[in-house]
Structures are given as structure tokens and as C-alpha cells.
A and B are shown apart, each in its own frame.
Chain A
Amino acid sequence: MLLDLSEEHREHLAFLPQVDSAVVAEFGRIAVEFLRRGSNPKIYEGAARKLNVSSDTVQHGVEGLTYLLTESSKLMISELDFQDSVFVLGFSEELNKLLLQLYLDNRREIRTILSELAPDLPSYHSLEWRLDVQLASRSLRQQIKPAVTIKLHLNQNGDHNTKVLQTDPATLLHLVQQLEQALEEMKTNHCRRVVRNIK
């Protein structure tokens, strides 16, 4: 599968052959660092001064390189396809090899970072529980009614949420049975077959 690079993207990347391989390698390092930790515009200014170009040019060059790496990693394109996609840019043999090496060296990590961008449902963080006995209410006095109160701590996109729930022991047992049954399903032949085939 070949990458389809837009006109604008090609223009941004056109800056790369105008600098040393060492600079391109440094841009590659910066690009991956920005993917890990977020971008830092001050770096562009420093580089622009050293290279004697505008900081916009540097920014576009680094962003173009970042986009090239993320698109290639996202699609997991083969070495050959990467080489063919980059070939249309008309760069030197040396630059093409450098870009390919950047791709191969970093794609696993980039894919890990990209996997964290998928939309997130609230997920389990921790659970606190309390066993209560209800002794009286507005409608009925002299009771002994056991209940379990649960504080469910959830995570969603980095936010912390809590939900307080209450149930009686019989329902809790039922809940536990249902969850155990769901886990048992993983062991059935059908699920095993599906999981094996995906791998």
C-alpha cells in the first residue's frame, strides 16, 4: 500500500534535502520526541537560527516528517511500499535510506503511542466496599437488612470518576456469578479459535 502525499506535505518535506543528513536525523529524533511528549515550539526557533531559515520552514519540515512517520506506522506499510512512497519525492539515495531507517527504527513505538489515541470508555481503577446493616428507615423500624455499598473508581481519558452503588448480598452473588461466567467464556473453543486466528 503506497502513501498518498499531498501537495502541501511534499512542499514541507522539500526542506529536508536542503540540509545535512545529520540535521534530518536530528529532525527525526525531535519528531519522535514530540510524539512522546508533545511539541515544543522553542526548538524550532533555535534550529531556524542555526540553519538560517525561518522557524516556519523548520516547523513544517519536522511536522512533515512526523506525519510521514505516523501515517506509515499507522498503516504498517512494508519496507518496499515505504521506499516507493518516498521515491516520488525525488530525494537522494542517502536521504531515502535515512528516512527508511527512521521509519523502521521507530514504528513500533509510534504504533504504541497511536494506540493510546483510541476513544476510551470508563475503565476500572479500583473498588472500595462496605458491608452495612440497615436498622431502620422512614417507612419501617426494627429491621435487620444486610446491604453491600460499593464505591467504584473509574478512569476515563485521564479523568478520575467515582460511582457509588448499593445492593443486597444475593444480587452481589449473582453479579459475581455472571462475571465468572463471562471469564469462563474465554476458555470455550469458539473464543479460543477466534483469538488464535486474530494473532
Chain B
Amino acid sequence: MERAREPLLDAKSGVTNQLIDFQWKLGMAVSSDSCRSLKYPYVAVMLKIADPSGQVKNKSFEMTIPQFQNFYRQFKEIAAVIETV
């Protein structure tokens, strides 16, 4: 009987980047150089990612509320699928 081999690519194998930290904040833009009166809520995400060599990089991005809701929906779907595995 063949022994099941370890998968060559897994989340810990040192081939992909690793998510080290996930920080977020909710802010509201109230004024800018192009528009003096704003009421613009947004979610800002700051990821800390380590590449296979161990070097850590910061990546940040912003989402509008509708964008964030879409983002959130993706994770809900991922979580639902994992339940079935």
C-alpha cells in the first residue's frame, strides 16, 4: 500500500507569502483639497506579509463601504465552503 505523501504546496511550506497581521480601521473623510465638505466613510486595511525569504512588507489599501461589504461577503462564502470540507 502506498503511503500518502505530504503535499508539496501548503500554507506553511515556505513557497507562498505568509499573512502575519491584519489591522483595520474605520474612518470618515471630512474634507479634501478637491472637496471641502465630505462625509465619506471608508475602511482602511493594513496587512503585514512575509515573503518566503522572511522579509516583511506592509501593504495597505482602502475600501468604500460597498467595496467592504463585497469583501466581507467573499470571506463569508469562504467560511461557508470550509464548513463543508
Footprint of B on A, CB under 8 Å? 127-138, 147, 149
Task: Count contacts between A and B, CB distance < 8 Å.
Answer: 41
Distance (whole angstroms) from the CB of A85 to the closest CB of chain B: 55
Would you call the interface of chain B mostly helix, strand, loop, or mixed?
strand
Contacts of A138 in B (CB 8 A): 22-25
Docked CA distance A137–B34 (Å): 27
Contacts of B23 in A (CB 8 A): 137-138
Q: Considering only CB atoms and an 8 Å cut-off, how many residues of chain B contact the other chain?
A: 14
Contacts of A136 in B (CB 8 A): 25-26
With contacts A128-B33, A136-B26 known, what are 18 further pairs, Cβ within 8 A? Answer: A127-B33, A129-B32, A130-B32, A131-B29, A131-B30, A131-B32, A132-B27, A132-B29, A133-B28, A133-B29, A134-B25, A135-B27, A136-B25, A137-B26, A138-B22, A138-B23, A138-B25, A149-B29
The answer to whether A137 touches B32, judged by C-beta atoms less than 8 angstroms apart, is no
Footprint of A on B, CB under 8 Å? 22-34, 41
Distance (whole angstroms) from the CB of B71 to the closest CB of chain A: 15
Docked CA distance A137–B41 (Å): 13
Residue of A nearest to B36 (CB): A131
With A137-B23, A138-B23 in contact, is A128–B34 under 8 Å at CB? yes
Distance (whole angstroms) from the CB of B75 to the closest CB of chain A: 15
Contacts of B29 in A (CB 8 A): 130-133, 149
Per CB-CB distance, the 6 closest pairs between chain A and chain B, nearest first, are A137-B25, A130-B32, A131-B31, A136-B26, A132-B27, A134-B27
